[in-house]
Structure 1
Amino acid sequence: MRANRSPALSPCGEGTVEEERRWSWWQRAVIYHIYPRSFADSNGDGVGDLEGIRRKLDYLTWLGVDALWLSPIFRSPMADFGYDISDYLDVDPTFGTLEDLDRLIADAHARGIRVILDFVPNHTSDQHPWFIESRSHRDNPRRDWYIWADPAPDGGPPNNWRSVFGGSAWKFDTATGQYYLHTFLEEQPDLNWRNPEVQAAMLDVLRFWFARGVDGFRLDAIWFLIKDAELRDNPVDPDYTPDQPAYRELLPVYTSDRPEVHDILARMRQVADAFGERLLIGEIYLPIGRLVTYYGCRHRRELHLPFNFQLMLVPWEAQRIAAAIDTYEALLGPDDWPNWVLSNHDRPRVATRIGEEQARVAALLLLTLRGTPTIYYGDELGLADVPIPPDRRRDPLEHTIGPGAGRDPCRTPMPWDTSPYAGFSTVEPWLPLNPDYPKRNVAVQRDDPRSMLSLYRQLLILRRAEPALAIGSYRPVSATRDLLAYLREAAGRRLLVALDFGGREQVFTTTRFTLHGRILLSTHLDRAGEMVSGSLHLRPNEGCIVALAAH
Structure 2
Amino acid sequence: MEKKWWHNKVAYQIYPKSFYDTNGDGIGDINGVIEKLDYLRNLGIDIIWLSPIYCSPLADQGYDISNYYDIDPRFGTIDDLDRLIAEGKKRGIGIVMDLVVNHCSDEHEWFKKACEDPDGEYGKFFYIEDYKDGDPLPCNWRSYFGGSVWEKLPGHDDKIYLHVFHKKQPDLNWENPKLRKEVYKMINWWLDKGIAGFRIDAIINIKKKLPFSDYSVDGDDGLSSIDNMLKDATGVGEFLNELADETFRKHDAFTVGEVFNEKDEELPLFIGSHGYFSTMFDFSAESIKEDISPENYKNAIFKAHERVDGIGFLSNIIENHDEPRGVSRFIPKEDLDDTSKKMLAGIYFLLPGLPFIYQGQEIGMENLDKVNDINDLDDCANANIYETALHEGKTHAEALAHLINVTRDNARTPFQWDDSENAGFTDGRSWLMVNPKYKNINLAAQINDSDSVFIFYKELISLRKNPEYESTFVYGKFAPYKPAQKNLLAYSRVGEKSVMVIANYQKDAQTLSLPSKIKKVLLSNTSKTLDNSSFNSTEIVLSPYELLVVEMV
* TM-score of the pair, normalised by structure 2: 0.88
* Structure 1 unaligned residues grouped into runs of 5+: 1-20
Structure 2: distance between partners of 1:99 and 1:503? 51
Name the structure with the higher helix share.
Answer: 2
1:32-80: per-residue Cα shift (whole Å, max 9, x none)?
1111100000111011011001100111111112211111010111111
- How many angstroms apart in 1 are the aligned matches of 2:263 and 2:504? 25
User: Compared with structure 1, are the counterparts of its residues 145 and 107 closer, same or farther at alpha carbon in structure 2 (3 Å cutoff)?
Assistant: same
Q: 1:328 to 1:275 in 2, by over 3 A?
A: same
Structure 2 counterpart of 1:128, which letter? H
SS at match of 1:42: coil
> Hey, what does 1:494 align to over in structure 2?
498
Query: Which residue of 2 is the match for residue 330 of structure 1?
Result: 306
What SS does the aligned partner of 1:284 have? coil
Structure 1 match to 2:520: 518
The equivalences for 1:158-307 within 5 A come to: 158-173=138-153, 175-176=155-156, 177-237=158-218, 249-250=224-225, 252-255=227-230, 258-286=233-261, 289=264, 292=267, 295=270, 301-307=275-281
Cα offset for 1:155?
A: 2.5
Distance between the aligned counterparts of 1:545 and 1:401, measured in 2?
40
The superposition leaves residues 402-421 of structure 1 with CA deviations (integer Å, 9 ceiling, x where unpaired) of 36374222210001112222
User: Cα 1:317–1:395, aligned 2, differ >3 Å: closer, same or farther?
Assistant: closer
Do 1:396 and 1:406's aligned partners in 2 also have CA atoms closer than 8 Å?
Answer: no
Counterpart of 1:89 in structure 2 is 69
Q: Determine if contact 1:284/1:291 at 8 Å carries over to the other structure.
A: no
Partner of 1:360 in structure 2?
342
Whole-angstrom CA distance in 1 between matches of 2:222 and 2:516 = 52
CA distance in 2, matches of 1:251, 1:33: 27
Unpaired segments ≥5 residues, structure 2: 388-402
The equivalent residue for 2:114 is: 134
Give the Å deviation of 1:318: 4.0
User: Structure 1 residue 548 and structure 2 residue 523: aligned?
Assistant: no
Output the amino acid matched with 1:456: Y
Tell me, in whole angstroms, the C-alpha distance in 1 between the residues paired with 2:11 and 2:111: 34
**Identity in percent:** 33
Name the counterpart of 1:78. 58
The alignment partner of 2:229 has SS state of coil
Tell me which residue corresponds to 2:318.
342
Query: Does the Cα contact within 8 Å between 2:100 and 2:200 map onto a contact in 1?
Result: yes
Give runs of ≥4 in structure 1 deviating > 6 Å. Answer: none
Residue 223 of structure 1, CA deviation: 1.2
Native 8 Å contact 2:506 2:545 kept in 1? yes
Q: Give the direction of change, closer, same or farther, for the CA distance of 1:296–1:372 in structure 2 (3 Å limit).
A: closer
Relative to 1, partners in 2 of residues 1:360 and 1:291: Cα closer, same or farther, differing over 3 Å?
Answer: farther
Cα-to-partner distance string for 1:172-203 (whole Å, 9 max, x where unaligned): 12633111001111111011000001100011
Give the TM-score taking structure 1 as reference length. Answer: 0.89
* Match of residue 390 from structure 2: none
8 Å contact kept, 2:362–2:457:
yes
Distance 1:401 1:348 in 2: 14
Shift of 1:458: 0.8
Partner deviation per Cα, 1:298-327 (whole Å, 9 max, x = no partner): 6x6212222211232335444433433443
Indicate if the aligned counterparts of 1:210 and 1:275 stay in contact, CA closer than 8 A.
no
Report the equivalent of 2:379: 395
Write the distance in 1 (CA, Å) between the matches of 2:386 and 2:296: 32
Is the CA contact 1:164–1:247 (under 8 Å) kept in the aligned structure 2?
no
SS at match of 1:313: coil
Distance in 1 (CA, whole Å) between partners of 2:227 and 2:552 is: 48
Measured in 2, the distance between the counterparts of 1:528 and 1:124 equals 53
User: Which of 11, 22, 30 is the aligned partner of 2:10?
Assistant: 30
- Distance of 2:249 and 2:85 partners within structure 1: 20
| 1:195–1:42 distance in 2 versus 1, CA, 3 Å | same
C-alpha deviation, 1:359, in angstroms: 2.7
Across the aligned residues of Structure 1 and Structure 2, the Cα RMSD in angstroms comes to 2.3
Contact conserved, 1:367 with 1:373, CA < 8 A, in 2?
yes
Q: CA deviation at 1:508?
A: 1.2
Structure 1 residues 301, 169: closer, same or farther in 2, change over 3 A? same
In 2, distance between residues paired with 1:155 and 1:247?
A: 15
Measure the CA separation in 1 of the matches of 2:521 and 2:177. 57
Distance of 1:321 and 1:30 partners within structure 2: 22
1:309 aligns with 2:283: yes
| Residue number in structure 2 paired with 1:484 | 489
Deviates more, 1:470-479 or 1:178-187: 470-479
- Once the two structures are superposed, what CA deviation does each residue of 1:360-413 show, in whole Å capped at 9, x if it has no partner? 211001111111111111111110122444333221223345363742222100
Where do residues 359-378 of structure 1 align in structure 2 (5 Å cutoff)? Answer: 359-378=341-360
Supply the AA of the counterpart residue of 1:446. Answer: I
SS of aligned partner of 1:310: coil
User: CA separation of 1:379/1:296 partners in 2, compared to 1, >3 Å: closer, same or farther?
Assistant: closer
- Aligned mates of 1:460, 1:483 — CA distance in 2: 23
